[in-house]
Amino acid sequence: MMLRAARRIFPPEELRYIYKSIDIIGDIAIIKVARRHEAYAQQLAEALLEELKGRVKVVYRQAAPTKGYERVKILEWLAGERRSITIYREHGCSFKVDVEKVFFSPRLQYERLRIARLVKKEAPLKGGEVVVNMFSGVGTFSIIIAKHAPKVVVYSIDASPHAYNLMVENIKLNGVEGRVIPILGDAAKVVKEKLMKAADRVLMPLPELALKYLDYAVEAIRGRGWIHYYDHCEGRRREDSIELAKKKVSEKLSNLGVDFRIVEGRVVRSVGRCLYQVVLDVEVLKTCK
C-alpha cells in the first residue's frame, strides 16, 4: 500500500527508503516517514488517502516512539479529517480508540484471540474463570475474552484515565457490562487492595512493567492458575529472546517460592533490531512452596 502510494510521488530510486508497514486502526492510518522524505510527508499521506479511498479517512505519522507509562505514540496529523477517534473492529468486537491519547496496536490481534481461546468457557462447579487483566488499555483483551467465554468475569485495570474512560465506553458498546469490571488505578495497588487470591488467570500485557509486577500477579492467583507474561527481550535469534524471558521469570518465581511450569513461550512480534516482544504462558501450581 505504502509503496503504491509512494510511486505516485517518488522516482523508483527513492522507493527503498519508504517504510512499508502501516498500522490501520479503524479508518485511521499511522505511517512512518524517512527523514530524507520529511518535506514530502503530507504529499505521501494524501497519496495514501487516495490509494485507500473509502477505507482510510485520516493519516498520522509516528513522530517519535511510544512514551511514558501510558505507552502513547507521539503522532503528527498529516492529512484527511481532523480527528483522532475511531472505531476499530476485531474478532467480532468494536473498540473506540483515541490514537493520540492511548496505546493501541492492531498487531496484537492474533495474540488477543490466542489468549481468549485458552480461557475456559465454563469451569465445572465454579461457573467460569476469573481473569485479572493488569494493563488493559481500552479493554481489548478483556472484552474479547468476555465475548468468547460468556461465564467469565474479567477485572480490567488501567492507570490511565483516558484508557479507563474508553474502556468503560467499550464495555457498553460490546454489551459485556457486569462481566468486564473496569478499574482505574495502579495494578499493584488494586491487586493488593481488592484482588488478592481472586484470579484463575492473570494477564500482564505491558512488557515494561511485567517483571517488576510479577509478584502482584502471583498474589492475585487463587492457589493455582495461569499468568500470561509479556516482555521485550533481546536475542540474536527469536529463540534466544524466548530463553532470556524464561530465565528472568524462572529466577523471579523461584525467589518468590512459587511452584510453576512454563508451558509455552512464543515471539508475539519483532519490536526492533534483535529485540522481540515475547509471551510466556506460566502455569502456577502453588503460590508458595
Ligand X SMILES: C[S@@+](CC[C@H](N)C(=O)[O-])C[C@H]1O[C@@H](n2cnc3c(N)ncnc32)[C@H](O)[C@@H]1O
Q: In the complex, what is the shortest distance from the CB of residue 150 to ligand X, in angstroms, rounded to a whole number? A: 21
User: What letters, b where the CB count within 10 A reaches 16 and e where it falls short, cover 90-103?
Assistant: eeebebbbbbbbbb
User: Looking at beta carbons only, is 17 or 110 nearer to ligand X?
Assistant: 110
Strands 153-158 and 85-90: unpaired
Q: Which is nearer to ligand X, 93 or 153 (CB)?
A: 93
Closest Cα to residue 5, out of 37, 38, 58, 51?
51
Q: Which of 25, 56, 130, 187 binds ligand X (CB under 6 A)?
A: 187
Which of 115, 157, 202, 282 is close enough to bind ligand X by CB under 6 A?
Answer: 157
Cα 196 to Cα 212: distance, rounded to the nearest angstrom: 17
- Look at strands 72-80 and 85-90 and give their pairing: unpaired
Nearest approach, Cβ of residue 189 and ligand X (Å): 8
Binding ligand X (rule: CB under 6 A), the pick from 3, 15, 69, 239 is: 69
Strands 58-67, 28-31: pairing is parallel
x-or-dash string of contact with ligand X, 71-90, rule CB under 6 A = x-------------------
249 interacts with ligand X by CB under 6 A: no
Q: Does 186 participate in binding ligand X (rule CB under 6 A)? A: yes
What strands, in cross-sheet order, belong to the sheet with 180-184? Answer: 180-184, 153-158, 130-133, 199-204, 221-234, 275-286, 259-272
Near ligand X by CB under 6 A: residue from 119, 199, 206, 227: 206
Q: Which positions touch ligand X (CB under 6 A)? A: 69-71, 102-104, 108, 135-137, 140-141, 157-160, 163, 186-187, 205-206, 209
